[in-house]
Amino acid sequence: DQQVKQNSPSLSVQEGRISILNCDYTNSMFDYFLWYKKYPAEGPTFLISISSIKDKNEDGRFTVFLNKSAKHLSLHIVPSQPGDSAVYFCAARGPGTYKYIFGTGTRLKVLA
Amino acid sequence: NAGVTQTPKFQVLKTGQSMTLQCAQDMNHNSMYWYRQDPGMGLRLIYYSASEGTTDKGEVPNGYNVSRLNKREFSLRLESAAPSQTSVYFCASSEAPADRYTFGSGTRLTVV
């Protein structure tokens, strides 16, 4: 059973607009969340994180929002750029565990 | 700044053959991980090593063995390859067990 779900396999957005990538999780014990970006033929690279004690974290054009009651997090990219075209993975872990559970990924295409 | 280096990048095996995937990191990280990525499945943890001298099973350990040779190196061995092990394999490392990961660029393995 998939504990971390990214229900949109793909998303297309115009350059300059907002991209919103969503992630849902089922385990209420998860307390730390990460987003990774992956280009073809490369490994995932860390993008942004959020702890369960926060509901928002920003880093430049990237903002992650966490809604614990809904067990939902989202990544906002504003403004979107063609170089943002990649696969985005969310990942979650629970307290006292070393293991991150990854979602299946969303492929973002930013159209110039 | 090499980060995490994986070899080989590509490999084709026949069913029943064995091989070892190599991984080395130069960031003095304590923890290392092996993941596999399959279409529609996200990244799934095979084995991890929280620190030098320790290894533990992840979500999908069957058919694999690992060796934490020293602090830098963490290898993944397939003793008798099966077509179900066709996948892209990623090695990752982190400074501490629950920290964000740095990933290698992956090994694309095909078992025929």
Segment A27-76, tens digit of pLDDT: 999 999 999 999 998 999 999 999 999 999 999 999 999 999 999 999 99
Average pLDDT of the residues in B59-79: 95
Q: Taking 80 as the threshold, does the pLDDT of residue B67 lie above it?
A: yes
Q: What pLDDT score was predicted for residue A97?
A: 77
Mutation choice for A interface testing from B27, B103, B108 by most A CBs within 10 A: B103
Nearest CB among A32, A43, A49 relative to B104 is that of A43
For residue A57, the surrounding DSSP H or E stretch is: strand A56-59
Contact at CB, B101 and A100, closer than 8 angstroms: yes
- Output the CA–CA distances (angstroms, integers) from residue B69 to A38, A48, A112, B37, B51, in the order listed: 28, 31, 47, 24, 11
- pLDDT for residue B1: 61
> Nearest CA of chain A to the CA of B69: how many Å?
20
Q: Which residue has the tokens 């991209």?
A: A19
Of the partner residues A34, A49, A102, the one whose CB lies closest to the CB of residue B42: A102
pLDDT value of residue B39: 83
